[in-house]
Protein backbone atom coordinates (compact mmCIF):
# COMPACT_ATOMS: atom_id res chain seq x y z
CA UNK A 1 0.00 0.00 0.00
CA UNK A 2 1.68 3.15 -1.21
CA UNK A 3 1.35 6.65 0.04
CA UNK A 4 -0.95 7.61 -2.85
CA UNK A 5 -3.30 4.65 -2.31
CA UNK A 6 -6.41 5.90 -0.56
CA UNK A 7 -8.81 3.09 -1.42
CA UNK A 8 -10.27 2.93 2.09
CA UNK A 9 -11.02 6.66 2.10
CA UNK A 10 -12.33 6.57 -1.46
CA UNK A 11 -14.53 3.62 -0.60
CA UNK A 12 -15.92 5.45 2.43
CA UNK A 13 -16.62 8.64 0.48
CA UNK A 14 -18.25 6.84 -2.45
CA UNK A 15 -21.93 7.62 -3.01
CA UNK A 16 -22.24 9.82 0.09
CA UNK A 17 -23.74 13.25 -0.37
CA UNK A 18 -22.04 16.34 1.00
CA UNK A 19 -24.77 16.93 3.64
CA UNK A 20 -24.39 13.33 4.81
CA UNK A 21 -20.61 13.67 5.11
CA UNK A 22 -21.01 16.94 7.02
CA UNK A 23 -23.54 15.32 9.37
CA UNK A 24 -21.13 12.42 9.97
CA UNK A 25 -18.44 15.01 10.76
CA UNK A 26 -20.77 16.76 13.22
CA UNK A 27 -21.52 13.44 14.89
CA UNK A 28 -17.81 12.66 15.11
CA UNK A 29 -17.11 16.08 16.67
CA UNK A 30 -19.92 15.51 19.18
CA UNK A 31 -18.42 12.12 20.02
CA UNK A 32 -14.96 13.62 20.57
CA UNK A 33 -16.40 16.49 22.63
CA UNK A 34 -17.77 14.01 25.16
CA UNK A 35 -14.21 13.23 26.27
CA UNK A 36 -13.42 16.81 27.26
CA UNK A 37 -13.95 18.16 30.74
CA UNK A 38 -17.14 20.01 31.49
CA UNK A 39 -16.94 22.06 34.65
CA UNK A 40 -18.19 24.93 36.68
CA UNK A 41 -15.26 25.80 38.90
CA UNK A 42 -16.89 28.30 41.22
CA UNK A 43 -15.24 31.40 39.79
CA UNK A 44 -18.40 32.38 38.00
CA UNK A 45 -20.05 35.28 39.78
CA UNK A 46 -22.81 37.77 39.39
CA UNK A 47 -23.17 41.29 40.67
CA UNK A 48 -26.03 41.98 43.06
CA UNK A 49 -27.25 45.20 44.56
CA UNK A 50 -28.41 45.42 48.14
CA UNK A 51 -31.46 47.38 49.28
CA UNK A 52 -29.30 50.43 49.96
CA UNK A 53 -27.69 50.11 46.49
CA UNK A 54 -24.49 48.77 48.00
CA UNK A 55 -22.55 46.51 45.69
CA UNK A 56 -21.92 42.91 46.54
CA UNK A 57 -20.78 40.01 44.46
CA UNK A 58 -22.35 36.62 44.86
CA UNK A 59 -20.63 33.46 43.71
CA UNK A 60 -22.34 30.26 42.86
CA UNK A 61 -20.87 26.84 42.36
CA UNK A 62 -22.88 23.88 41.17
CA UNK A 63 -20.02 21.51 41.88
CA UNK A 64 -20.16 20.07 38.38
CA UNK A 65 -17.00 18.50 37.12
CA UNK A 66 -16.41 15.59 34.85
CA UNK A 67 -16.36 14.61 31.24
CA UNK A 68 -19.26 14.88 28.83
CA UNK A 69 -20.26 11.23 29.15
CA UNK A 70 -21.10 11.86 32.82
CA UNK A 71 -23.32 14.86 32.05
CA UNK A 72 -24.93 13.43 28.92
CA UNK A 73 -25.86 9.79 29.59
CA UNK A 74 -28.27 9.96 26.64
CA UNK A 75 -25.31 10.55 24.30
CA UNK A 76 -24.29 6.87 24.51
CA UNK A 77 -27.45 5.77 22.74
CA UNK A 78 -27.80 8.80 20.46
CA UNK A 79 -24.29 8.56 19.02
CA UNK A 80 -24.55 4.81 18.36
CA UNK A 81 -27.98 5.09 16.72
CA UNK A 82 -26.99 8.06 14.56
CA UNK A 83 -23.71 6.45 13.52
CA UNK A 84 -25.61 3.32 12.52
CA UNK A 85 -28.19 5.34 10.57
CA UNK A 86 -25.73 7.66 8.82
CA UNK A 87 -23.14 5.03 7.91
CA UNK A 88 -25.54 2.46 6.47
CA UNK A 89 -26.69 3.22 2.94
CA UNK A 90 -29.96 1.30 3.25
CA UNK A 91 -31.03 3.53 6.14
CA UNK A 92 -29.51 6.84 5.03
CA UNK A 93 -31.01 6.56 1.54
CA UNK A 94 -34.46 5.46 2.72
CA UNK A 95 -37.16 7.95 1.63
CA UNK A 96 -38.27 8.62 5.22
CA UNK A 97 -34.72 9.34 6.31
CA UNK A 98 -34.19 11.56 3.28
CA UNK A 99 -37.29 13.51 4.24
CA UNK A 100 -36.96 13.78 8.03
CA UNK A 101 -33.65 12.15 9.01
CA UNK A 102 -31.37 15.14 8.75
CA UNK A 103 -33.61 17.30 10.94
CA UNK A 104 -34.02 14.48 13.45
CA UNK A 105 -30.23 14.00 13.43
CA UNK A 106 -29.75 17.71 14.12
CA UNK A 107 -32.16 17.54 17.07
CA UNK A 108 -30.55 14.39 18.44
CA UNK A 109 -27.04 15.86 18.22
CA UNK A 110 -28.39 18.89 20.09
CA UNK A 111 -29.87 16.62 22.72
CA UNK A 112 -26.56 14.77 23.06
CA UNK A 113 -24.85 18.12 23.75
CA UNK A 114 -27.32 19.32 26.38
CA UNK A 115 -27.46 20.23 29.18
CA UNK A 116 -24.82 22.73 28.24
CA UNK A 117 -21.96 23.77 30.46
CA UNK A 118 -20.37 27.21 30.59
CA UNK A 119 -18.95 28.05 27.19
CA UNK A 120 -15.44 28.36 28.58
CA UNK A 121 -15.33 24.58 28.89
CA UNK A 122 -13.70 23.08 25.80
CA UNK A 123 -16.12 20.17 25.61
CA UNK A 124 -19.17 22.40 25.73
CA UNK A 125 -17.83 24.65 23.00
CA UNK A 126 -16.99 21.68 20.77
CA UNK A 127 -20.40 20.11 21.42
CA UNK A 128 -22.28 23.23 20.45
CA UNK A 129 -20.08 23.71 17.38
CA UNK A 130 -21.12 20.18 16.41
CA UNK A 131 -24.77 21.23 16.79
CA UNK A 132 -24.18 24.22 14.51
CA UNK A 133 -22.45 21.99 11.94
CA UNK A 134 -25.39 19.57 12.09
CA UNK A 135 -27.76 22.49 11.51
CA UNK A 136 -25.69 23.46 8.47
CA UNK A 137 -25.86 19.90 7.14
CA UNK A 138 -29.63 19.75 7.61
CA UNK A 139 -30.09 23.09 5.85
CA UNK A 140 -27.76 22.06 3.02
CA UNK A 141 -29.71 18.83 2.59
CA UNK A 142 -33.00 20.73 2.59
CA UNK A 143 -31.80 23.23 -0.02
CA UNK A 144 -30.24 20.54 -2.19
CA UNK A 145 -33.54 18.63 -2.21
CA UNK A 146 -35.38 21.73 -3.42
CA UNK A 147 -32.76 22.47 -6.07
CA UNK A 148 -32.80 18.94 -7.49
CA UNK A 149 -34.86 18.67 -10.66
CA UNK A 150 -38.09 16.73 -10.42
CA UNK A 151 -38.10 13.26 -11.89
CA UNK A 152 -39.91 12.88 -15.16
CA UNK A 153 -43.06 10.78 -14.92
CA UNK A 154 -42.80 7.32 -16.47
CA UNK A 155 -44.00 7.13 -20.10
User: Mind listing the pLDDT tens digit for each residue in 118-147?
Assistant: 555 677 788 889 999 999 999 999 998 776
What's the whole-number average pLDDT of the chain? 78
Contact 33, 68 (CB under 8 A): yes
* Band of residue 151 on the pLDDT scale cut at 50, 70, 90: low
The predicted pLDDT at position 39 comes to 60
Rounded distance between C-alpha atoms, residue 132 and residue 101, angstroms: 16
Rounded distance between C-alpha atoms, residue 104 and residue 100, angstroms: 6
The predicted pLDDT at position 140 comes to 94
* Band of residue 55 on the pLDDT scale cut at 50, 70, 90: low
Dihedral Cα 143, 144, 145, 150, nearest 10 deg = 120
**Distance, C-alpha 78 to centroid of its chain:** 10
Largest CA distance in the chain: 84
The predicted pLDDT at position 36 comes to 82
Rounded distance between C-alpha atoms, residue 9 and residue 150, angstroms: 31
Exposure b/e, 61-75, CB count within 10 A at least 16 = b: eeeeeeebeebbeeb
Amino acid sequence: MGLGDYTVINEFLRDKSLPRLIMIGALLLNFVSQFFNYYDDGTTGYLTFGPNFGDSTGYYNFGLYGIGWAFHPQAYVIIVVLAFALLRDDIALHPLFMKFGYWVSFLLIGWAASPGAPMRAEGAAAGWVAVLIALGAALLHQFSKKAAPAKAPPQ
